[in-house]
Amino acid sequence: MIYAGILAGGYGWDQRKDDMPKQFMPIGSKPIIIHTVEQFIVNPSIQKIIIAVPENWVVYTKDLLRKHITAGDKIDVILGGHNKNNTLHGIVNFIEAEYGIEEKDVLVSHDAIRPFVTQRIINENIEAVKKYDSANTAVPTIDTIIKAGKEKQIVEITPDRIFYSEQTPQTFCLKKLQEIYKNEQLAKRHVNAVKMFMEAGNSVRLVYGEYANIKIVTQYDLEVANAILRDKTND
């Protein structure tokens, strides 16, 4: 089975914890999280979608899904954790308990606040994991990366085209991920699941992302997202 895990456990860093989490804010005509889930609903390889949301927003999310998406039986909504890796761990536990984990199972994990993920990115993630243990989506940085010291002095100007900005999906061989989570010390130490996966001695393949696959975190991002959508609909 190929699962999608939608990570919607956070609140967005520029937001008060008590306000409406960004993934529920509308862009275009529907909430961000719905745009995101739709990309996975329409992908024929994905058989199940598990969405992990913050405490108190589970019933709310179920309402949204009922209103916007008809293929509801493909989706489970669960409670997220206190960070991304922890939330992913919760998704793995849920799959284990609910469906069982087999050798060939794949988990495509994706940020709920990246609604502009494309079918190509999802497919290449799944393809990559068939050959390697894991895949991580990224795009080359456009700006040159500068390394600075403690006194704000520039230490190094790095060569172009070797640094990438990380995006999602991050995709894993589910069985291997499940094994790694058994090592609690290792799981606790990491917020980034791919980093944890590498430290456990697994290889990770880079999948080329898209510059439009932005993460909507700030008010500015929200405006950019609306602009991107407007452009899409005007075409």
Partner 1 sequence: MGTKKIEVVMRELDLEEGKVIVRPTYLSICAADLRYYFGQRKKEVLRKKLPLALVHEGIGKVLYDPCDRFAVGENVVMLPNIPGTVLPYVKENYLSDSIFMSSSTDGFMQDMVGIQAEQLIKIPNGDRVYVLSELMSVAFNAIMEFENTANPRRRVAGVWGDGNVGFVVALALRYLYPSLRVIIIGKHSKHLQYFSFADQCYLVDELPESIRFDHCFECVGGYGSAEAISQMIEHILPGGSIALMGVSENEVLINTRKILEKGLKLYGNSRSSREDFQRSVDLITNYPEVASYLQTIISQVHTVRGVEDMYTAFEHNETGDFKTVMKWSV
| Cα dihedral sign, 128-210-80-180 | positive
Q: How far is the CB of 117 from partner 1 (least distance, A)?
A: 23
Q: Name which position in 7, 25, 49, 193 contacts partner 1 (CB under 8 A).
A: 25
Closer CB to partner 1, residue 25 or residue 204? 25
Q: How far is the CB of 34 from partner 1 (least distance, A)?
A: 11
Closer CB to partner 1, residue 90 or residue 209? 90
Q: Which string of b and e fits 69-81 if b means at least 16 CB within 10 Å?
A: beeeeebbbbebb
Binding residues among 47-66 for partner 1 as defined by CB under 8 A: 55-60, 63-64
Closer CB to partner 1, residue 55 or residue 151? 55
The β-bridge partners of 135 are 171, 205
d(CA 172, CA 192): 13
Q: How far is the CB of 59 from partner 1 (least distance, A)?
A: 4
CB 139, CB 208: distance < 8 Å: yes
Q: E strand or H helix at 197, and its extent?
A: helix 193-199
The residue to which tokens 């497919």 are assigned:
123
The residue to which tokens 């790694």 are assigned:
180
Burial of 148 (0-12, 13-18, 19+ CB in 10 A): exposed
The residue to which tokens 């502009």 are assigned:
116
Does residue 138 touch partner 1 according to CB under 8 A? no
Cite the beta strand spans of 103-163 per DSSP E. Answer: 106-111, 134-140, 146-148, 154-157
Q: How far is the CB of 11 from partner 1 (least distance, A)?
A: 12
Does residue 31 touch partner 1 according to CB under 8 A? yes
| Overall size of the chain counted in residues | 235
Closer CB to partner 1, residue 18 or residue 143? 18
Closer CB to partner 1, residue 30 or residue 74? 30
Does residue 18 touch partner 1 according to CB under 8 A? yes
Closer CB to partner 1, residue 63 or residue 199? 63
CA proximity to 136, closest of 207, 40, 71: 207
Q: Name which position in 14, 29, 67, 156 contacts partner 1 (CB under 8 A).
A: 67
Does residue 16 touch partner 1 according to CB under 8 A? yes
Does residue 222 touch partner 1 according to CB under 8 A? no
Q: How far is the CB of 192 from partner 1 (least distance, A)?
A: 29
Residues of this chain that bind partner 1 (CB under 8 A): 16, 18-20, 24-26, 31, 55-60, 63-64, 67
